[in-house]
Structure 1
Amino acid sequence: MSLVKEFREFVGSGSAVDLAVGVLAAGAIGTILKSFIDEMVLPLTGLLGKADWANSYVVLKGDVPLGKALAEARKIDGAVILGYGQFMTVAVNTLILVFAVFMVVKAINAMKKKQAEEAAAAPAPPPAQEVLLTEIRDLLKSK
């Protein structure tokens, strides 16, 4: 099978469309979650003492004046700095994203389970031949 033919089958099967929709949805969810973190979570952490995690760091070696931004502190000669703030922000974003995806998958699985239960509970329709014979019988009875 040629590569072009395989590609046409892949695109025609709907898998490519599903993949594209998934990528676009993930991008949109990522943007929404970043906004949620920046506008809702980080300000609430300000109540605990610090709202801007991006500039949170620990000086391991060197003399860095208090209040310096992380980028400025890293420019100081001889300073060894552990910048943990950005890691914390990414970790929180990832946890929220994973939880959101978990909730979506859970809702989809519940919907599929309900559909499967409804399909199993509904009696199977009689074969077409039996339906036709029943109609013929009813017509003959009515005459």
Structure 2
Amino acid sequence: MSFISDFKEFAFKGNLIDMAVGLVMGTAVAAMVKSFIDHIIMPLVASIVKVGDMSGWTIPIGTEIEKEVDGVTKMVQAEIGVGSFIQEVINFSILAFVIFIALKVASRWMKKAEEETPPSDEVVLLTEIRDSLAKR
């Protein structure tokens, strides 16, 4: 086989196309979940914690130092981004839950599809042979 025909065989296998569709769908679901978290969940959490913006919630550590930015000297201090970390933990938790639910639904659909397909002629024939041998 030539390189081109090998590549065609690889690129157009059902599994590869299924994976590509799954990747596109996963990206779309991730964007939707991120929007849900950023615009609905995080404002609720921020209002409960009494912080205007969760990503801006930081804990200063250490002492202030002078730092020159664009020719202007400013006093800056190292900070721990507690709000950003909490937001990422919530993002991960909700996205993992959504993926878990999607996989449960998909596996349930696949089970139903397997149950609905009639057995092949070979399976029917082998079942008949087994049953006739069991009668003897």
Distance verdict in 2 for CA 1:3–1:47, change over 3 Å: same
Correspondence list, 1:28-107, <5 A: 28-48=28-48, 49-63=50-64, 77=75, 79-107=77-105
Q: Distance in 1 between matches of 2:15 and 2:89?
A: 31
Distance verdict in 2 for CA 1:21–1:116, change over 3 Å: closer
Shift of 1:96: 0.9
Letter in 1 for 2:81: G
- How big is each residue's C-alpha offset from its partner over 1:63-118, in whole Å with a ceiling of 9 and x where there is no partner? 59xxxxxxxxxx96562221122122122111111111110100111122233344
Give the equivalent residue in structure 2 for 1:22: 22
CA contact (8 A) 1:61 1:78 kept: no
SS at match of 2:57: coil
Quote the RMSD (CA, aligned, Å). 2.8
TM-score (norm 2): 0.68
Distance verdict in 2 for CA 1:40–1:78, change over 3 Å: closer
CA contact (8 A) 2:46 2:54 kept: no
Structure 2 residue 114 is the aligned partner of structure 1 residue 113: no
TM-score (norm 1): 0.65
SS at match of 1:116: helix
Bigger radius of gyration among the two: 1
CA contact (8 A) 2:54 2:83 kept: yes
User: More strand by proportion, 1 or 2?
Assistant: 2
Gaps of 5+ in 1: 65-74, 128-143
Distance verdict in 2 for CA 1:51–1:104, change over 3 Å: farther
